[in-house]
Amino acid sequence: MHGDHAPATSAGPAGPAEPSASGQSSFDRVIAGDGRIEPRDEMPDDYRKSLIRQISQHAHSEIIGMQPEGNWITRAPSLHRKAILMAKVQDEAGHGLYLYSAAETLGASREDMMQALLAGKARYSSIFNYPTPTWADIGAIGWLVDGAAICNQVPLCRASYGPYARAMIRICKEESFHQRQGFEILLTLSRGTPAQHELAQEAVNRWYAPSLMMFGPPDADSPNSAKSMAWKIKRFSNDELRQRFVDMLVPQAQALGLTLPDPDLRWNAERGHYDFGELDWSEFKAVLAGQGQCNVQRVEHRRRAHTEGAWVREAAMAHAAKKAARQQQSARGAA
Amino acid sequence: MTPQLVSATAPNGADHAAVPSSRQADMADMADMAEYLLWLGDDALVSAQRLGEWITNAPELEEDVALGNIGLDQLGQARALLSYAGELLGRNEDELAYFRDDVDFRCTHLVSLPRGDFADAVVRLLLVGAYSEQLYAALTTSADERLAGIAAKAIKEVRYHVEHAAGWAVRLGDGTDESHRRMQDALNRAWPYLDELFDPHPLTDHLDGIAVDPATLKEPALQRITAVLDEATLTVPATQRVAGGGRDGRPSEHLGPMLAVMQVLARAHPGASW
């Protein structure tokens, strides 16, 4: 889950009413005992809505996130890289599918979730509103964006809602491969020609701060965090995860031979962590509010693909109906 | 006519029987062998490149996954074939993919036609798939063991591709009025390019026991295609074929722009590794 999602502006589908007293106490017991809530269990309406919001936004992020990388499939500079990139973007479509399915177990419909995305009502991770002008962006997305996603998502493998946690286990395995391939792209560029090294550094300069902002606003400004942590959907705060990410990046950047664009970045022996500079949250808020370079383009692309595919989906439904009618008729004839 | 390796059509059957099964490429003319591998490899690469254009544009997420998968299979076939060709020519797969101009490619025109709509994708996948299914099935017994191995892997993949295309052809052909019209239009657009896949060519005569005479693939491939079209309530177009030339360095007009996109980054950094 990317942490920069604001509360959904569209309410999720109305779930069942609040649990009975015994249902509530059983829910509380499961949460307290670090157990798993399953689709048929009673659960508070807020818990259901909060999960639908989080899981559908995560699904949308996977689907929209296919675009900045899909941008380089046709131009990937070697057949090996092309194959990896096609597989990666395809994995993301697969992640979207598992996540929509997980949300469906809570009573949301994929069609409604998709319509909310197309109508611009549902959010997805803001990071995908940044452009990918160079090949090195594919490396930077893998290393930084997928890296941040993993920091966010590994704890979600223990989230209290069973279908979400199980989907995350599979997704995290694939994401960790994605991150390694991003690192490897950057390493190859960094050790390549001076022009390639420059491409890698320039991409890292652009993606570093946005990737740190993927953990969401500082804890003090994060309205949904407390409840999610009480419900054990979320296990660590935005700032804790961000720190963990920076601590992980510094040695990796050294291995890459690339610089992280933060003059305030330094080891703090007392804390046992790296200190890092203030992030420009005004930019984060502007992109979240729709003013990123690609906000309009990303939703428009999805809307166009969906609209252009309408006749195909209609035909598939019509064919299925015809086939069912024919089968019924032949069954009647046989009777 | 059943698909067959070229030598089986030779008048002297005894010669064929005398060819040892372990016969390798070095017994054939290496340039001819490389040329044949480019035929197959370039068809696969250019198909994969077109399918790559579909990702994020498919009508359903499931189809983004499926077309991506098929494209990946084709890309895998292309890499195996181009790597082999490259070894014979002293070049690697990327030099062949990125540093040849359109006139040096050997793909047929059908695979390089513009992406079009989903009906075009389905039709092309069905036509090229039905051809490839016969081609790779025949090549599994090629006297060139490495090519036979590539074909043995490819045939399993291509069978799925044809099934996938056939499923959509039937759904769309026998779906709504609009989908039927779009499928028939797409079929009419692609059909004139189909014959080029089956054109006989002197090259395969030179690769006795190794290559397949494309003409022998036509009948079984057409049987497969027309069976699907029947079920899909579509009509086999009566249109005439157009001149091909893809195997002889006369590529379609669409190949150049496609390669301009595909090769742009690699060519901007000659000698670089990625």
CA–CA separation, A163 vs A59, rounded Å? 14
- Give residue A226's pLDDT: 78
Specify the 3-state DSSP secondary structure of B50: helix
Q: How far apart are the first and last CA of chain A?
A: 54
The CATH number that applies at residue A88 is 1.20.1260.10
Contact (CB, 8 A) for A269 and A296:
no
Q: List A273's β-bridge partners, or say none.
A: A268
C-alpha dist (Å) from residue A237 to A71, A169, A223, A227, B32: 33, 20, 12, 11, 64
What SS3 string covers chain A?
Answer: CCCCCCCCCCCCCCCCCCCCHHHHHHHHHHHHCCCCECCCCCCCHHHHHHHHHHHHHHHHHHHHCHHHHHCCCCCCCCHHHHHHHHHHHHHHHHHHHHHHHHHHCCCCCHHHHHHHHHCCCCCCCHHHHCCCCCCHHHHHHHHHHHHHHHHHHHHHHHCCEHHHHHHHHHHHHHHHHHHHHHHHHHHHHHCCCHHHHHHHHHHHHHHHHHHHHCCCCCHHHCCCHHHHHHCCCCCCCHHHHHHHHHHHHHHHHHHHCCCCCCCCCEEECCCCEEECCCCCHHHHHHHHHHHCCCHHHHHHHHHHHHHHCHHHHHHHHHHHHHHHHHHHHHHHHHC
**Whole-number Å distance between alpha carbons of B36 and B249:** 13
Tell me the chain A residues in contact with residue B116 when contact means C-beta distances shorter than 8 Å.
none
Check whether A7 has a pLDDT greater than 50: no
A77-A78-A80-A83 Cα dihedral, nearest 10 degrees: 50
Mean pLDDT computed over A46-69: 95
Q: Tell me which of A16 and A20 has the higher pLDDT.
A: A20
Q: How far apart are CA A108 and CA A63, in angstroms?
A: 17
Q: Report pLDDT for B73.
A: 98
Torsion of CA B97, B98, B104, B106, to 10 degrees: 30
Spatial distance between the Cα atoms of A253 and A144, rounded to a whole number of angstroms: 10
For position B11, what pLDDT does the model report?
Answer: 39
Nearest to A77 among B62, B69, B265 (CB): B265
Domain contains A156: yes
Q: What ipTM was estimated for this complex? A: 0.91
A286 pLDDT more than 60 = yes
CA A98/CA A217 separation, integer angstroms: 27
Assess A314–B contact: CB distance below 8 Å, yes or no. Answer: yes
pLDDT tier for residue A17 given thresholds of 50, 70 and 90: low
A272: left (phi over 0), alpha (psi -120 to 50) or beta: left
Comparing CA positions, the residue from A273, A85, A86 lying closest to residue A185 is A85
**pLDDT at residue B12, as a whole number:** 40
- What the block records as the tokens of A51 is 């999960």
The structure tokens listed for A232 are: 């054990």
Residue A261, pLDDT > 50, answer yes
Shortest alpha-carbon distance between residue B121 and chain A (Å): 12
Contacting residues of A for B269, CB less than 8 Å apart: 77, 193, 195-196
Determine the pLDDT at residue B25: 46
Considering only CB atoms, which chain A residues are within 8 Å of B93? 79
Contacts of A137 (CB under 8 A, 6+ apart): A68, A72, A131, A203, A206, A207
Identity of the residue in B45, B68, B171 whose CB atom sits nearest the CB atom of A86: B68
Residue percentage of chain A with pLDDT more than 90: 80
Q: Is pLDDT at A139 greater than 80 in this prediction?
A: yes
Domains and CATH numbers, chain B: 3-13+21-268 (1.20.1260.10)
A144/chain B closest Cα distance in angstroms: 19
Q: What is the pLDDT of residue B17?
A: 39
Nearest to A39 by CA among A107, A89, A134: A107
Is A318 domain-assigned?
no
| Residue A313 counted as domain residue | no
What pLDDT, on the 0 to 100 scale, is given for residue B114? 97
Please give the Cα distance from B72 to A84 (Å, whole number).
Answer: 9
Q: Which pLDDT belongs to residue B26? A: 58
Q: Which candidate from B55, B78, B261 shows the least CB-CB separation from A75?
A: B261
Q: Which residue in B50, B61, B81, B177 has the most chain A C-beta atoms within 10 A of its own C-beta, making it the best mutation to test that interface?
A: B61
pLDDT tens digits, one per residue of B49-60: 999 999 999 999
> Is the four-CA dihedral A278, A280, A285, A287 of positive or negative sign?
negative
Could you read off the pLDDT of A109-136 as tens digits, one per residue?
Answer: 999 999 999 999 999 999 999 999 999 9
> B5 in helix, strand or coil?
strand
Q: Take residue A119 and report the two structure tokens written for it.
A: 């109508």
- Pick the residue from chain A with its C-alpha nearest to B117: A308
Q: How far apart are CA A189 and CA A191, in angstroms?
A: 5
Q: Which residues of A touch B97 (CB under 8 A)?
A: 79
Q: What is the Cα–Cα distance from A169 to A163, expressed in whole angstroms?
A: 10
Inter-chain residue contact B72 with A193, CB threshold 8 Å = no
In angstroms, the first-to-last Cα distance of chain B is 46
Contact status, residue A101 vs residue A91, Cβ threshold 8 Å: no
Find the closest chain A residue to B49 by CA distance.
A74
pLDDT attached to residue B6: 60
Contact check, Cβ <8 Å, B71/A86: yes
Residues of chain B with pLDDT under 50: 8-22, 25
Evaluate whether residue A225 is within a structural domain.
yes
Q: Looking at residues A131-143, what average pLDDT do you find?
A: 98
Q: Does B177 touch chain A (CB under 8 A)?
A: no
Which residues constitute the domain of residue A50?
27-292
Element (H, E) at B212: none
Residue position matching structure tokens 């704890």: A155
Residue A182, domain member (yes or no): yes
Chain B residues closer than 8 Å to A73 by CB: 52-53, 55
Helix ranges, B54-144 (H): 61-89, 93-98, 118-139
What residues of chain A, 210 to 269, have a C-beta less than 8 Å from chain B? none
Q: Give the angle subtended at the CA of B27 by the CAs of B26 and B28, to the nearest 5°.
A: 90
> What's the pLDDT at B3?
61
**pLDDT, tens only, A73-99:** 999 999 999 999 999 999 999 999 999
Average pLDDT taken over every residue of chain A: 91
User: What is the domain count for chain A?
Assistant: 1
Task: Flag if A309 and B274 touch (Cβ within 8 Å).
Answer: no
Position A323 in a domain = no
CA-nearest residue to A195 within chain B is B269
Distance between CA atoms of residues A274 and A282, nearest Å: 23
Helix and strand numbers, DSSP H then E, in chain B: 10, 0
Q: What is the pLDDT of residues B153-199, one digit of tens each?
A: 999 999 999 999 999 999 999 999 999 999 999 999 999 999 999 99
Q: How high is the pLDDT of residue A14?
A: 45
* Nearest-angstrom CA–CA distance, A61 and A82: 22
**For residues B55 and A66, is the Cβ–Cβ distance under 8 A?**
yes
pLDDT above 60: residue A8: no
Confidence at A234, pLDDT banded by 50, 70, 90: confident
